Structure 1
Amino acid sequence: MWLAFLAPFFYVTYGFANWLASQRDDVGSIVFAWERGIPFIAWTIVPYWSINLFYGLSLLLNDTKRGVDRLAGRYLTAQIVAVACFILFPLTATFMRPQTSGLPGFMFAVLGGFDKPFNQAPSLHIALLVIIWDHWRCRLKGMAAIVWHVWCFLIGTSVLTTWQHHVIDIPTGALLGFFALWLFPRDGELPFAGFRLTADPKARRLALFYALVAALALAGAVAGAFVSALLLILLWPALALAIVAFAYAGAGAKVFQKAADGSISLASRVLLLPYRLGARINVW
């Protein structure tokens, strides 16, 4: 059921964002000069395309209905956020791919039939890769797990070696992927479940403080991108502090996704790393 909705939703929304960007004449790009040295490797279109197969299989080969629903929630989150970014901040790829033949040539031709040089950052391909990689990393063991990690690495690098994306699209896409994992965790409560605005004045002040700092970091990332793309790294602490603000506002400690045995989800460890580092430095 979910796949019947998600597949057309993907192509309709992704295609609409592509079309919308193609109607504009002010679409820019974020490219580092050294990216010109990234080689074009035609055969990597195969792992690039393979994510479509894993997208569907991950939904179909699942343990429980709850597992399917949460995976679909992650897919939907990545799709909605990415498309919103594509519409609000359209970017274009600047590479001119050489002619290819054989199977890679056919696959590039099919890709070019619906995917234009827009829809860059955050890379939806990378966001979905993070989600799908995480879905299988705990299910596969031994050699199968090693093969899975290697193949996912090939998928990740293929966005560059197919000249489909620029470097900045990768960390922004990964951040989106981990956000989707955090929003719909494999285990435990949803971070937004049962949210009620706190009546505690101190908690409200802390929520406001962290929200303001998060907003400043976000503004710094957006404004700073016009000076240096490296300043987009401020998106990471902006998201981390927004999550902490959400916790103080009423979501509570479950946003940190700490289990009874003391373990913390991978998404929480990654997303909240800037906050945890800041807290540790503050203690020093």
Structure 2
Amino acid sequence: MKLKFNQLTLYKCVWLVGLSIFFFVSYNFANWFTSTRADVGSLVFTWEVSIPLLPWFIIPYWSIDIMYGLAILLANSRQSLKTLCLRLLSAQIICILCFLLFPLKFSFERPIVNGLSGWLFDILMGFDKPFNQAPSLHITLLVILWAFYSNYLRSYWRYVLHIWCLLIGISVLTTWQHHFFDIPTGIWVGCLCIWLWPDNGLSPLKNYQLPKQYLWCGIYFVCYLLSFGLAIYLHAWGLWLLWLSGSFLLVSANYCLFGATGFQKQANGSFNFAVTILYLPYFLIMWLNSRLWTYKKQAINHICENIYLGRIPSNNLLSQNQFTSVVDLCAELPTSKFAGNYSLIPVLDMTPLTAKVCQKAASIIEQYHQQGKVLVYCALGYSRSATAIIAWLLWSNRANNVDDAINMVKKCRQNIVISAQQRQILINWFLQTKNRK
């Protein structure tokens, strides 16, 4: 145990020294390089002139340096230390690249400040310049450290943490260090770093699935380009479309590289806060889409025995129908909290279920249906979840062939869509399972 403790302490020291050196070298280089350029502009809204300079906010502003070093020293395992430091390293790299590629400067001139606050401002200005603006590295690091400390603190200390972190977030404006645009971009990059290095260690960079769904990858990439271009064209409040374009870009990457794991839906059907922020515009679009396509149609349909098929359910739907188990095949939308048996088999929208997923879904449905009412669902309840029930009908010998199984489901829920590719996968899988039996 002593050896392990010493090793962990050594890793902490190495990471702390390494990150500190990299932080100051890269940050100062970006500052110096931008200062040599003659074409550095500002991105500021007219209402920002009303933001007051509150000198005492320099104290929470500076406190993030203490939080940075202390977080590394508080990490209680090698994995948590590695995750935290990779997030911090990624934040530095992404932000510095943005500073170099899209340089901006702060446009207000700060008046002279006296006293303790003035002394702290003088130290800050000793190595800082009015550059390195968007995304705010201060806000990016705050998001990462806020998530880290939230996992360690309990009881009223978490409220203290939240209040202090909010003060740090506000301080980038009230110390006249950043314009407003830098804040949401900093939040987004911080969430991206958490997405890149999740707590479970299953980084999309190391655990990609290569679904190679190039059609949908291309469609979402075009959506990214359109929304990004529109944001730049509209400027001003149209810049909020950058949030939408960022979520489209991630979705495009999921269809090409990461698969359903790129959404990082958790075992309880929810998404963590960082992932929710990254994908929120897309989540809202997909939720509206699920309601529009099923408007004036039954949310769920009884298929046979105690098996039901439907769209992603609300809390009321789950409670009113007294389901004991649910099988969720929707990768891109959160599920309401469910007290019974919950099984997640995430599948990308508009993509077929593989033979492996068909087998898994069929066996889980068979297990659950012996315990009571089961709801199998995806976003619409028309394709992924319908395929899962078709697979169960075949695997449990309730249908003699694929076409019979499809017709059984279609008779109960007429709008189901089973593509030719999905039908062939079901046929091949069914033949293989019959041969094994």
- Pick the TM interval, shorter chain: over 0.9
Aligned partner of 2:220 in structure 1 is 210
Shift of residue 126, structure 1, vs aligned partner: 0.5
Question: How does the TM-score come out when normalised to structure 2?
Answer: 0.62
| Cα offset, 1:182, TM superposition | 1.0
Match of 1:178 among 172, 191, 215: 191
Deviation, structure 1 residue 215: 2.6
8 Å contact from structure 2 (residues 211, 256) kept in 1: yes
Alignment correspondent of 1:56: 69
Structure 1 length as normaliser, TM-score? 0.93
Equivalent AA in structure 1 for residue 226 of structure 2: L
More helix by share: 1
Structure 1: runs of 5 or more not aligned: none
User: Residue type of the partner of 1:69?
Assistant: K
| C-alpha distance after superposition, 1:83-115 (max 9, x if no partner) | 111111111111111111221111111100111
Q: Deviations over 1:173-225 (max 9, x none)?
A: 111111111111112511222325335xxx2211121122213323333x32x
- Give the 3-state SS of the residue equivalent to 2:120 in structure 1: helix
Q: CA contact under 8 A between 1:13 and 1:83: conserved in structure 2?
A: yes
Q: CA deviation at 1:145?
A: 0.7
Matching of residues 105-254 of structure 1 within 5 Å = 105-198=118-211, 203-221=213-231, 223-224=232-233, 227-254=234-261
Map of 1:20 onto structure 2:
33
> Structure 2 CA distance, aligned partners of 1:250 and 1:14?
31
Q: Indicate if the aligned counterparts of 1:188 and 1:257 stay in contact, CA closer than 8 A.
A: no
Code of the residue aligned with 2:21 in structure 1: it is P
User: For residues 80-91 of structure 1, what are the structure 2 equivalents within 5 Å?
Assistant: 80-91=93-104
Q: 4+ residue runs of structure 1 moved beyond 6 angstroms? A: none
How many residue pairs match? The answer is 278
104-113 or 208-217: which moved more? 208-217
What is the letter of the counterpart of residue 237 of structure 1?
A: L
Alignment of 1:269-280 (within 5 A): 269-280=276-287
State the Cα RMSD in Å. 1.4
Give 1:252's aligned amino acid: G
CA distance in 2, matches of 1:69, 1:182: 14
**Contact 1:54-1:132 within 8 A present in 2 as well:** yes
Task: Kindly name which structure, 1 or 2, has the bigger radius of gyration based on alpha carbons.
Answer: 2
Give the corresponding residue for 2:272. Answer: 265
Report the residue type matching 2:288 in the other structure: I
Q: Deviations over 1:201-257 (max 9, x none)?
A: xx2211121122213323333x32xx5232222221222112111211131111111
Question: Higher relative contact order at CA 8 Å, sep ≥6: structure 1 or structure 2?
Answer: 1
